[in-house]
Chain A
């Protein structure tokens, strides 16, 4: 399977994702430069974390206008798989490829630490290797990860099972104290209604090797690979 990793000026998790996908998971990878429309026939596109274009304006607000995002929009419409991690998630909501918005953290500053997540929906290409309600550990590192969506749309997300990850404690309990950034409904990651676009604030590439303390993130990538291979073989 071939993964494309987008490189914006200011991306800083691009090579982390590349390391996990190519070295840890032995997949083919391509770095996709922001100024190019060419997605190089990749099967899944990763929008990595970082500070695209410096993010001096609203996070992701500039990146959405880049040439590569035009191609990604078409790629999504054709059913291609896209994962937006952290800044990638911010870019996806700015581009309205995912609903909602990411506001500054409630505490007003950057937070980097391991958090527990509860997997809310495992019937997706991204989460099929988890079991429903499983509690996993993946780190966050962001300044603007406070997910917001109006209540009417929130109930749609809930109804359509688009909420994929929610912040919780080690036992899977969700409450105010387990919410690191103030996200509505403790949302950490969502999926598009078309099921092919995942946006999440936590960094799965940071928890994909035993030496880094957790391998829970790796299973997201493994889910994608398994899903794609099944589909591919079916063809």
Chain B
């Protein structure tokens, strides 16, 4: 092929001219078509993180518990058990083909977890769509939920929690961020390398087809434009095969014959083979004609680039290959020896006796690093200096509360999570819908609390502060049920990094996350970056989704958000400020979106979290929830109706700070929580709060029926529980 012609092909594969030049330098010759394809996927934004990698150095990698940081998934260690977790995006495939896009997202993240040697025990999804009244957004929303149910239910990993958020900025580019959590005895974790000359490379699972070719380089590393037909880049999921693959892999790992293992996800065989070689500082030779293929006459570059699902690559001790192959065969899966570990450090691909690729693995897995110009976006000035004193105060507060409770971002999510099997594996001790979800660990007293969090509007108004808030809110969420925050994974969703304002948002978010994590002593154990989330209607709001896990020492002591008994005392913790910027109230009631985002005081947050964990541990708390979207009034509303038995409450806000009433009721000041306690525990609780200098406001008590809020004995809100429930329960 002529050089010019090849440069053209390189461009079509998403490679830059200078990258093509670098390939020539590495190889000292023009690349073969297969090599060019391999570089294009391995150096793509989705696999190689060229625009983001250098910033990861800012993230803390140590915390309260021992930390495992891996390429595919990291985790923390508690009492000898490794809790492995990771979050990943499947945004673009889901926008193009919602059902399969979401389904294969689940499949991919689960493989990352069991590829590390841990059994997947739960999934969470953070989903962002355009408004429901937009037909296309509604279609995508339904398709994504259906895809998650289709794949997740069959594969036998419970989908237990997550987020669901609607906003116009996601209309042309939805976000589907999926997180998976696994657990294994620490000494049973697997390596993702190929090592030891003569050891064999085994391919196991689904056949390789022409699906998903260029999924990571073409689909995930470019913006959506008007007329693109990108459906062929989306893969098709087969959860049954994945389920068998999980069981077979766990069995194979237990034999002790595996040297290393890696899943074939983005960039398929290219990524798994070259990264296993690079990690083991070994050479790996693959006989490509031995790969089981779905179609005849597949070209070598197609086989290397395919993102067909449910495939694993294993490095097995020579002499033990038959026992390993047998396990996969028993589960009805194909498994064949396709290569071996060789001298040197090249990844070598042979096809029908002909060498089609021969690349230094270290070079292939070392993508270029780019730091494009960053510039503070112009819009920030405009939206953060709004005089909201002119904003009219509502006169019918009942109506406002009901409208907010019914809004798509605040209403009950039961119609979504009930479509997911959230109980399989019988670990879900705190079910979704009533607070923070907790997974017990069988035969042990402790459990794992899980959450995902991000308020994209706050991140739009101030990416640095918004990202800190996301970390703080996730931690508060875990602390509310009594769990000690232990570590995070992140999924950083942004627009085109080559546009300076988008790149600035990204850098600010990274700094915000890492500063908050350092303050809270939380390690970032794994993560994922998704750029190019733009469509002709514009970029998404910056969305650095935080996935966090916490450890609760005694699952029996955990509490949820539902009010429990009549006459329990209701206490608001933390400072409510005169803040309304970025709130749901502002968006839903006044159709406005302006700042500033709420202030955040990290040390006050930390105190509050420690207090909550302590109070739950001492059994002083009946119910507990952090305050976020919808503010105090909506938290009270949820406390009344999210439990099995509905309750009411009688509140007087007279002794709260004297600020605008809408900010007091619906403002979203950070660092707050709502708890209830039995009257007899009140004194102890108050004393505990005083020693920790937690702002502590007794605002009322749990009653039999209706939600009543007074301001110095003057009625502000009086809503029947029936009406509240109807508003909250029926939107989705």
Within 8 A of B (CB), among A1-40: 9-10, 12-13, 15-16, 19-20, 23
> Of B240, B247, B426, which is in contact with the most chain A CB atoms at under 10 Å from its CB?
B426
Given known A9-B243, A10-B154, A10-B243, contact A110–B420 (CB-CB < 8 A): yes
Task: Write the chain A residue with the least CB distance to B240.
Answer: A54
Does A141 lie at the interface of the complex (its beta carbon under 8 Å from any beta carbon of B)?
A: yes
Q: Which of A70-78, A153-161, A206-214, A219-227 contacts B (4 or more CB under 8 A)?
A: A206-214
Given known A10-B154, A19-B442, contact A112–B244 (CB-CB < 8 A): no
Contact B423 A203 (CB under 8 A): yes
Listed from nearest, the 8 A-B pairs whose CB atoms lie closest are A12-B156, A54-B240, A51-B154, A16-B426, A141-B421, A211-B429, A112-B421, A110-B419
Does B602 lie at the interface of the complex (its beta carbon under 8 Å from any beta carbon of A)?
A: no
Contact B556 A211 (CB under 8 A): yes
Distance to closest chain A CB from B445 (angstroms): 10
Contact A206 B426 (CB under 8 A): yes
Distance to closest chain A CB from B536 (angstroms): 33
Contacts of A10 in B (CB 8 A): 154, 240, 243-244
Contact A54 B154 (CB under 8 A): yes
Q: Give complex CA distance A49, B243 in Å.
A: 14
Does A53 lie at the interface of the complex (its beta carbon under 8 Å from any beta carbon of B)?
A: yes
Contact digits for B234-246, partner A, Cβ 8 Å, 1 yes 0 no: 0000111101100
Instruction: Return 9 A-B CB contacts under 8 Å, by A number.
Output: A51-B156, A54-B240, A55-B240, A110-B149, A112-B420, A112-B422, A141-B153, A203-B423, A211-B440
Does B418 lie at the interface of the complex (its beta carbon under 8 Å from any beta carbon of A)?
A: yes
Contact A50 B156 (CB under 8 A): yes
Does B555 lie at the interface of the complex (its beta carbon under 8 Å from any beta carbon of A)?
A: yes
A111 interface neighbour in B418, B428, B442, Cβ under 8 Å:
B418
B side interface size, CB within 8 A: 34
Q: Give complex CA distance A139, B425 in Å.
A: 13
Within 8 A of A (CB), among B417-462: 417-426, 428-429, 431, 440, 442-443
Within 8 A of B (CB), among A188-218: 203, 205-206, 209, 211-213
Contact A109 B423 (CB under 8 A): no
Distance to closest chain A CB from B600 (angstroms): 35
In the complex, besides A12-B424, A53-B240, A141-B424, 5 extra interface pairs with C-beta distance below 8 angstroms are A10-B154, A12-B243, A15-B425, A54-B240, A112-B153
Does B146 lie at the interface of the complex (its beta carbon under 8 Å from any beta carbon of A)?
A: yes
> Of A53, A56, A139, A211, which is in contact with the most chain B CB atoms at under 10 Å from its CB?
A211
Contact A139 B156 (CB under 8 A): no
Does B695 lie at the interface of the complex (its beta carbon under 8 Å from any beta carbon of A)?
A: no
Q: Give complex CA distance A211, B423 in Å.
A: 13
Contact digits for A95-127, partner B, Cβ 8 Å, 1 yes 0 no: 000000000000001111100000000000000
Task: Write the chain B residue with the least CB distance to A111.
Answer: B418
Task: Write the chain A residue with the least CB distance to B422.
Answer: A112
Contacts of B420 in A (CB 8 A): 110, 112
Distance to closest chain A CB from B182 (angstroms): 15
Does B397 lie at the interface of the complex (its beta carbon under 8 Å from any beta carbon of A)?
A: no
Distance to closest chain B CB from A10 (angstroms): 5
Contact B423 A51 (CB under 8 A): no
Q: Give complex CA distance A209, B247 in Å.
A: 25
Does B331 lie at the interface of the complex (its beta carbon under 8 Å from any beta carbon of A)?
A: yes
Task: Write the chain A residue with the least CB distance to B157.
Answer: A12
Contacts of B243 in A (CB 8 A): 9-10, 12, 51
Contacts of A51 in B (CB 8 A): 153-154, 156, 239-240, 243
Task: Write the chain A residue with the least CB distance to B424.
Answer: A12
Contacts of A23 in B (CB 8 A): 442-443
Given known A109-B146, A211-B555, contact A54–B239 (CB-CB < 8 A): yes
Contact digits for B149-160, partner A, Cβ 8 Å, 1 yes 0 no: 100011110000
Does B332 lie at the interface of the complex (its beta carbon under 8 Å from any beta carbon of A)?
A: yes
> Of B154, B331, B332, B428, which is in contact with the most chain A CB atoms at under 10 Å from its CB?
B154
Q: Give complex CA distance A56, B150 in Å.
A: 11
Given known A51-B243, A54-B154, contact A213–B431 (CB-CB < 8 A): yes
Given known A10-B240, A211-B429, contact A110–B442 (CB-CB < 8 A): no
A9 interface neighbour in B149, B332, B424, Cβ under 8 Å:
B332
Task: Write the chain A residue with the least CB distance to B119.
Answer: A15
Given known A53-B240, A55-B154, A213-B431, contact A16–B424 (CB-CB < 8 A): yes
A110 interface neighbour in B240, B331, B421, Cβ under 8 Å:
B421
Distance to closest chain A CB from B423 (angstroms): 5
Task: Write the chain B residue with the least CB distance to A16.
Answer: B426
> Of B155, B241, B442, which is in contact with the most chain A CB atoms at under 10 Å from its CB?
B442
Contacts of A139 in B (CB 8 A): 423
Contacts of B440 in A (CB 8 A): 211-212
Contacts of A56 in B (CB 8 A): 240
Contacts of A111 in B (CB 8 A): 418-419
Distance to closest chain A CB from B442 (angstroms): 6
Task: Write the chain B residue with the least CB distance to A210.
Answer: B556
Task: Write the chain A residue with the least CB distance to B425.
Answer: A16
Distance to closest chain B CB from A178 (angstroms): 15
Q: Give complex CA distance A54, B151 in Å.
A: 10
Contacts of A112 in B (CB 8 A): 153, 417-423
Task: Write the chain A residue with the least CB distance to B331.
Answer: A9
Task: Write the chain B residue with the least CB distance to A112.
Answer: B421
Contacts of B247 in A (CB 8 A): 9
Contact B240 A9 (CB under 8 A): yes
Q: Give complex CA distance A16, B426 in Å.
A: 6
Within 8 A of A (CB), among B322-363: 331-332
Contact B442 A141 (CB under 8 A): no
Distance to closest chain B CB from A62 (angstroms): 11
Q: Give complex CA distance A230, B611 in Å.
A: 53
Given known A9-B332, A203-B423, contact A109–B149 (CB-CB < 8 A): yes
Within 8 A of A (CB), among B229-260: 238-241, 243-244, 247
Contacts of A203 in B (CB 8 A): 423
Contact A13 B424 (CB under 8 A): yes
Q: Give complex CA distance A203, B422 in Å.
A: 13
Contact B425 A109 (CB under 8 A): no
Contacts of A54 in B (CB 8 A): 154, 238-241
Distance to closest chain B CB from A177 (angstroms): 14
Contact digits for B200-223, partner A, Cβ 8 Å, 1 yes 0 no: 000000000000000000000000
Q: Give complex CA distance A49, B332 in Å.
A: 20
Q: Give complex CA distance A49, B440 in Å.
A: 21
Contacts of A205 in B (CB 8 A): 426
Within 8 A of A (CB), among B396-424: 414, 417-424
Contacts of A209 in B (CB 8 A): 426
Task: Write the chain A residue with the least CB distance to B415.
Answer: A109
Task: Write the chain B residue with the least CB distance to A141.
Answer: B421
Task: Write the chain B residue with the least CB distance to A137.
Answer: B644
Distance to closest chain A CB from B156 (angstroms): 3
Task: Write the chain A residue with the least CB distance to B443.
Answer: A23
Distance to closest chain A CB from B154 (angstroms): 4
Q: Give complex CA distance A9, B421 in Å.
A: 18
Contact B428 A212 (CB under 8 A): yes
B419 interface neighbour in A16, A49, A109, A206, Cβ under 8 Å:
A109
Distance to closest chain A CB from B552 (angstroms): 12
Task: Write the chain B residue with the least CB distance to A20.
Answer: B426
Contacts of B149 in A (CB 8 A): 109-110
Distance to closest chain B CB from A18 (angstroms): 11
Q: Give complex CA distance A212, B437 in Å.
A: 12
Contacts of A143 in B (CB 8 A): 153
Contacts of A110 in B (CB 8 A): 149, 153, 419-421
Q: Give complex CA distance A109, B240 in Å.
A: 18
Distance to closest chain A CB from B424 (angstroms): 6
Within 8 A of B (CB), among A143-196: 143
Task: Write the chain A residue with the least CB distance to B155.
Answer: A12
